[in-house]
Structure 1
Amino acid sequence: MASNRQGSTKRGKKSAKPTKKKSLWNYPRRGKGRIRRWLPSWRFIVGSFLLVAATGVGAFAYLYMTTEVPEPDDFALAQSTDVYYADGETKIGTFANVRRTSVPLDSLPDYVPHAVVASEDQRFYENAGIDIRGTIRAAINNLQGKPIQGGSTLTQQYVERYYMGTTTSIPGKLREAILALKIDQSQSKDEILENYLNTIYFGRGSYGIQEAAESYFGIDAADLTLDQAALLVAIIPSPSNWDPAVNPDQAMARWERVLRRMAEDEWITVEEAEAARFPDTIEPAAQNQYSGTDGYILAEVRRELVNSGAYTEDELDTMGLDIVTTIDEDMQGYAVQAVENLPEDRPDNNYVGLISMNPENGEIMAMYGGEDYLTRARNTATQDRAQAGSTFKPFGLLAGIEAGVSLTDRYDSSSPYEVGGQEFENFQLRGLGNITLLEATANSVNTVYIRLNEEVGPQATRDVAVRAGLPESTPGLDDTLSNVLGSASPTAKEMANAYSTFAAQGIRTNPHIVREIRNRDGDVIYTGDTSGERVFEADDIANLTYALESVVSPGGTASQISALGRPVAGKTGTSSFLVSAWFAGYVPQLATVVDMYQIGPNGEEESLTPFGGQWAIQGGNFPAQIWLDFMMEATRDMEVEDFPEPASEPTTRAPIPTFVPEPEPTTEEPTTEEPTTEEPTTEEPTTEEPTEEPTTGDPTPTEEPTTEDPIPTVEPTVDPTPDPTVDPTEPGPPDNPGPRPTPGRRKTRTKGPPLSPAGQVPNCTQYVPDEA
């Protein structure tokens, strides 16, 4: 029996299948279709979502608990920016000394905070410091290509601008949101509004609503009208750009927006919005720190950084930076003194610009932009323009050198010289015979340079000027035959860049006035661009420099410059009708340019009024004297360096195609004719002035204007600049000083632009000056 039971039990018992242990990772999923086996289960999806959410909540909770809220006063600490000379220790001035006077919210009219809420955060009283709905709405609008919107609440703006600074990173935005939440919990809405209104930047160096009311309207914030309050609130996002004195159209559009939104939110009635009138503002008050000549340095530093996009106006005024300029304190003093050395009877409307550059790195070592920035907020060295006159001739000479022309090649210098229906003349209609190009440079003979420009083509001359450093947009810079005589009107800074390229043996650098910027921790966060680009061959520049040395040698048009006692090269320049006078020159370590011009009562260019016992103001007298006075001191402790020797040249060169100008259009008045009967009817190109006045005979000028009649222009009322519509030339000495030793001839060159371009005799366009 026992055995039977055992047997029956064994036969009746089914064998159990082994159970498989489930793994955490069940992919691909068993028992599912070909596609579904690769899809995650709903449990996995839900679990993953909960895990991420829990992690995010935990991280947020941790950050919320560990983030400390600073005191409200800490938010308001917008630090000023200090600007220093090149030594990094001597302060020149400060940007935006923070002017702030806190006022209680209940002292302000109700429409002041209401305007802020309507414009900056319509859900301010409902949100908890952040607005998820507003953020999502702004993101959708931005993705749809609509006008860019921000999702920051008023509280977040408060946090960003005065505690964290501008931030775009995800961790930074997260911390900003946490601070906004905590501030909303620790301060009432009225406290947040009061702190916001007392710390926000309104432009014009004003922090807070009280200073803004004084800066824009000359009143206390408690006396603001609805119209005025709406305007101040309207410009909050970009006060420097939307100031009515800068951009009245944008200011009005923003002002209307504020009133419209206040009416929509029922802070004011529609009738009150319609009755509002755009308020008048007072003129921005210049800060006293901008007084004198240093004001031009501060303004130029600001302009360079803002125009480059490196910093905004607001950032320069609030970030607490240390800006080290390239300006050498001693050299700056020498520049100011050199101009102040001018005779006391100098006319009030006579202006001088001076720029001195380091050719090696483009640093501006000294800059004279005017007597007092508070009196005239326009820089004579970087903003005002003057006709270049014969300081332009080196561009034509270099174009010739690149094309294989030798300094020993001879040209007919007879005067007048007619080409294309125009006449070009030398000083006192006098030719110097068949002279070398070197002699023509020393005496600045116009007719020789016109013939040279015919050979190489005026386009080549223009190309050299642009490669050297003149902007292509320079007024008067064209491809006409007389461009070599200086019809273009650069700034002193632009011309200094070009001559600095010569001093650097053909390497062009970027002129700049900011060397470096340090943040609050002392870390260098910005450096000026000191890189260089080779634009001319060194041998060509060596020949050019050799020729320009003749200008300052005995018998040249600026022989007094030889008193510097070291190798120096340069060029004088005087425009036609004496509307401008220049001297541009360089030693191996420093390039300096000085220009002088005169502005009439209506902004028109005027002929320079003689003063200081001179019968005429020309490049070879006062501009050269200013240059020499400055350089004598600036180079006193510099090692005396020689220029490279000029390159040797062959005895012959290949013929250069002759430039054939097109005939003048019959519908236009010839450029050689005068618009009135008061001026000469032909161009009067001359050579260059002598180093001394004639001792016998009538007091005839030694330097005479050059080409076409000036076209009067009415320039802007804010310190307009001269009109370069006249093709200037350069007068020269009455006697031929004879040639100086010349270099050998060198190999014929075939590089460079086309040598026989078609063109037309000059017909300058009217000049529109830069903005102030």
Structure 2
Amino acid sequence: MPSWKLISGLCLAFFGSLVAVAGIGYAMVGIPTEENAAALSQNNVYYWADGKQMVATGSGENRQNISFEQIPKDMQWAVISAENKTFYEDSGVDPMGIARALANMATGGDTQGGSTITQQFVKNTYLSQEQTVSRKFKEMFISIKVGTKLDKRDILQGYLNTSYYGRGAYGIQAAAQTYYGKDAEDLSASECAFLAALLKGPTYYDPAGNEGLDSSATPDANRERSEKRWRWILGEMNKDGHLSDAKYQEAISEYPEPQGRKAIKGMTGQISYLVDTAKKYVLAHSDITEAQFDQGGYQIYTTFEREKVQALAQSVKKIEKERLDPKRKLDQHVQFGAASVKPNDGAIVALYGGAGYEKGHFNNNADTSGVPVGSTWKPFVLAAAMQYGTYKSDGVGVSPMSKYNGNDHLKVQKPDGSYYLKEDNSLFYQENESDHPWGYITLHKAMEQSVNTPFVQLGVDVGMEKVRDIAQQAGILKQSFSETNPSFALGTSTPSAIRMADAYATFAASGKQVDPYSVKQVKRGGQPLPGFDKPAVKEAIPANVANNVTKVLENVIENGTAQNAKALGRTAAGKTGTTDENKSAWFVGYTQQLSTAVAMFRENPKSHALLSMNGTAGKDSIHGGDIPTEVWTEYMKVALKGESDPGFPEPSPIGRVIDQVGAPSPTPSVTATPSETVTEEPSPSPSTSEPEPTPSASASESCAFGWCNDNGGPGDPGGDDGDVSPAPSVSETSGTGGNGNGGNGNGGFFGGTDTE
């Protein structure tokens, strides 16, 4: 028999060894300097213009950290009463609980339990979730140190921000949004008790059930467990003095039914493209790297108005359903892109980027380059003529009542008197869509009926560089410009719908330009970040020039190619556009309150090259005044509902009547206003829609150079509403087209930034 001395010595040695091991462990295990990836991972939360949450996305977990002050007192005490009553007094560990947990691990029993709030915070923040003895020892030693070095408020805040509440929600803010559709700071005491009950194990306490995870987690069983624990937690809060008798009776009176499960929120529908646009804006206006941004934790307050976004999407879907048949081959692969911008402000209130990420369409059609804008470019030519005049006007602006030859198949004359030639040195002839004999017509009338030949010659007379400058001043990015040859006047450039809406907003705002923006404010940790001030208003175009352009574009709706827009029932201005071989069709229009651009095109889903829309919707060709204008009108009816109709400022007479060489004389010597009645055409003109192609004409157009033409030589007739055929490098190749599902030339920040 061993003596008592031996037994005593062995016991002392054992306990001494435990103390030594504990001392060594305490000394060797320090508080990690970095949080684990899961704790760092947060959602980026996007908000609508009215401040309501749009979507939380951007990381692997639905997590949003909030400050201690934003966590309701009831939530704090609910967790303390239910899980760790001595939280504010203890050292951060529960020795007996740890012993039970270690014993359970050793015997293969239940691994749950045995942790204080501090220990759970340490596990969530610094350690993995694995159930091992070594992890439990680390948790104990780190918790002791954390308990002595961190403020209890910080520990509780960290715990509530990192705990899992079920349905993919990490943290109290994400949980409040997931279960009650509100911010955490707005939770009631009853709702706080419900969320605290979930921390016991959301698989078994979510009343929606989780039978997919455990067959015993049925809705009925979970509801019973949830109500029982909810009542118990409220009772403990009352017993502990954290909930008065009156508030307890109020809270216990009715179970706080959470909202049902919803489809996974995220990148679906138009939300996909709103997030895409806002993210690009954030990265372009800050020093935040994409890696930092994707790690999450940012709150992005956007300019997008939910009702307008929905209205735009519904308008596209409505017109698609009415006009397109998915079973008809020529109606397949048709796409739309659209954007709506506030004049005098620059805020992007709505956009339509495509069918949605969930349908495999990952390219944002509202914010991409690659779709030529056609005759919607003509207002920039007219504005340049009004502001700068032509080479023969000595700097005096040109009146829109000036006459140019509108006939088909005309030579284009250079300022030196020579003519543009084709590649084979034969004469180049500019074509209209039809051979209608317009004769010499005013620029006002040429815009109304979207006649090609006057604007090509006008662009040459003004100088294409000046046309480019006006377009850039209005808001078009230089990276989206095509070459400044005669074709430039008829819309071979490829700005995004956002930029076109913004540029026309400059006309709507009497020449004041504001860069388009989609983000009003970005916060992290509750603190606003720099770089997101509202863009400055610039005097881009003389007010009277812009107002005269608007007057001419009002007539396009009243009497010209955009008469479908008259259904809006209020004063508006705009321009239609259609391009080479009918590969794209546009309408850009505005009131003083809103400027909206709508693009329509077809593309090869494999190569992403643009396809002809001849035959689409059962029509010989699609014009900008057709489906795009219908979409625009449907949207603007909803977007402007309840708004006043202020009209536009009446312009003063501008410029001098400077007719093209060869126009009949005498030329009027007085200045005419754009609002004068146009009676100079000897032949009748179409009055209800964009001119239909003649049976013998294809829907392609020509430009001054052989490489501009896709089919045949530059002399091929075409041009659906006065637009010229872009070069193959613009409309035929996917690299610059970028309008495919995942195409490689998606344009970048508000379109056109992928190339120089």
Q: Alpha-carbon deviation of 1:466?
A: 1.3
Rounded to whole Å, the distance in 2 between the matches of 1:409 and 1:645 is: 20
Equivalent of 2:311 in 334, 343, 361: 334
* Residue correspondence of structure 1 range 141-290 to structure 2 within 5 A: 289-290=266-267
Q: How many Å separate the matches in 2 of 1:442 and 1:681?
A: 25
Contact 1:389 1:487 in 2 (8 A): yes
8 A Cα contact 1:517 1:527, kept in partner: yes
Residue of structure 1 equivalent to 2:577: 573
1:481 aligned to 2:465?
Answer: no
Q: Contact 1:363/1:530 (CA < 8 Å) preserved in 2?
A: no
8 Å CA contact 1:358–1:500 kept in 2: the answer is yes
The equivalent residue for 2:231 is none
Find 1:560's aligned residue among 539, 558, 564: 564
Which of 289, 298, 320 lines up with 1:312 in the alignment?
Answer: 289
Quote how far apart the aligned CAs of 1:81 are.
2.5
Tell whether 2:391 aligns with 1:406: no
8 Å Cα contact 2:587/2:625 also seen in 1? yes
Structure-2 change in CA distance of 1:678 and 1:469 (3 Å): closer
The 1:529–1:433 alpha-carbon spacing in structure 2 relative to 1, beyond 3 Å, is same
Label 1:379 to 1:655 Cα distance change in 2 as closer, same or farther (>3 A).
closer
The residue aligned with 2:588 is 584
Q: Which amino acid aligns with 2:365?
A: T
Structure 1 vs Structure 2: percent identity of aligned residues?
A: 29
Counterpart for residue 706 of structure 1: 724
* Amino acid in the other structure paired with 1:362: G
Question: Which amino acid in structure 1 is aligned with residue 742 of structure 2?
Answer: D
Q: Does 1:462 align with 2:468?
A: yes
Letter in 2 for 1:611: T
**How far, CA to CA, are the matches of 1:528 and 1:768 in structure 2?**
23
Task: Say if 2:522 and 2:529, in contact at 8 Å, map to a contact too.
Answer: yes
The CA deviation string for residues 556-592 of structure 1, in whole angstroms up to 9 with x for no partner, is 0011111212111110000011111100111011110
Match of residue 598 from structure 1: 602
* Shift, 1:365, TM fit: 0.3
Structure 2 CA distance for partners of 1:638 and 1:305, relative to 1, 3 Å: same
Distance 2:278 2:57 in 1: 11
Distance 1:561 1:306, change over 3 A: same
Distance in 1, matches of 2:295 and 2:540, equals: 40
Q: CA deviation at 1:723?
A: 12
CA separation in 2, counterparts of 1:768 and 1:511?
A: 14
Structure 2 CA distance for aligned equivalents of residues 561 and 721 of structure 1: 35
Summarize the Cα distance change of 1:98–1:570 in structure 2 as closer, same or farther, 3 Å threshold: same
Cα distance change on mapping 1:513 and 1:416 into 2, 3 Å: same
What is the 5 A alignment of 1:51-62? none
Provide Cα deviations, 1:316-365, integer angstroms capped at 9, x if missing partner. Answer: 34553322110001000101001101134153421110000011211100
**Structure 1 residues 613 and 606: CA distance shift in structure 2, 3 A:** closer
Counterpart position of 1:682: 715
- 1:396 aligned partner: 381
TM-superposed CA distance for 1:528, in Å, is 4.3
Alignment partner of 2:355 out of 368, 371, 376:
371
Task: Determine if contact 1:352/1:596 at 8 Å carries over to the other structure.
Answer: yes
Aligned to 1:98: 61
C-alpha displacement at 1:496, in angstroms?
A: 1.6
Specify the SS of the correspondent of 2:625: coil
For the residues of structure 1 that align with 2:633 and 2:367, how far apart are their CA atoms? 21
Question: Is the alpha carbon distance of 1:548 and 1:71 closer, same or farther for their aligned partners in structure 2, counting shifts above 3 Å?
Answer: closer
Residue 273 of structure 2 aligns to which amino acid in structure 1? Y
Alignment match, 1:303: 280
1:598 to partner: Cα distance: 1.5
Displacement of 1:719: 3.3
Say if 1:406 and 1:350 are closer, same or farther in 2 by CA, change over 3 A. same
Assess, with a 3 A threshold, how the Cα gap between structure 1 residues 324 and 395 changes in structure 2: closer, same or farther.
same
Cα distance between partner residues in 2 of 1:307 and 1:405? 39
How far is 1:440 from its partner?
0.8
* Deviation (angstroms), 1:609: 5.1
Give the AA of the match of 2:344: E
Amino acid at match of 1:491: S
What do residues 632-662 of structure 1 show as CA deviations (whole Å, max 9, x unaligned)? 1101121111111111247666999x9xxxx
- Which residue of the other structure, out of 321, 338, 345, is the alignment partner of 2:325? 345
d(CA) in 1 for partners of 2:50, 2:274: 15
Local SS of the residue matching 1:719: coil
Contact 1:679-1:709 within 8 A present in 2 as well: no
TM normalised by structure 2 equals 0.55
Q: How far is the alpha carbon of 1:482 from its aligned partner?
A: 2.3
> Structure 1: where are the runs of 5+ without partners?
1-66, 101-158, 164-178, 188-198, 200-204, 208-286, 659-668, 689-703, 725-766
Check the 8 A contact 1:510/1:530 in 2, yes or no.
yes
Q: Which of the numbers 622, 627, 638 marks the counterpart of 2:632?
A: 627
Indicate the structure (1 or 2) with the bigger Cα radius of gyration. Answer: 1
Distance, in Å, in 2 between the alignment partners of 1:332 and 1:510 is 20
2:371 aligned with 1:386: yes
Other-structure match for 2:536: 531
Q: Distance in 2 between matches of 1:301 and 1:291?
A: 15
Count matched residues: 468
Other-structure match for 1:45: none
Tell me the CA shift for residue 499 of structure 1: 0.9
CA-to-aligned-CA distance 1:517-562 (integer Å, 9 cap, x gap): 23433657663433111111101111111111111013x0011111
In structure 1, which of residues 420, 428, 432 is the aligned counterpart of residue 434 of structure 2? 428
Q: Does 1:720 align with 2:743?
A: yes
1:186 positional shift:
9.9
Given the superposition, is the C-alpha separation of residues 652 and 471 from structure 1 closer, same or farther in structure 2, using an over 3 Å criterion? closer
Q: Which moved more, 1:491-500 or 1:393-402?
A: 491-500
Task: Deviation per CA, 1:732-758: give whole Å up to 9, x if none.
Answer: xxxxxxxxxxxxxxxxxxxxxxxxxxx
- What amino acid is aligned across from residue 637 of structure 1 in structure 2? G
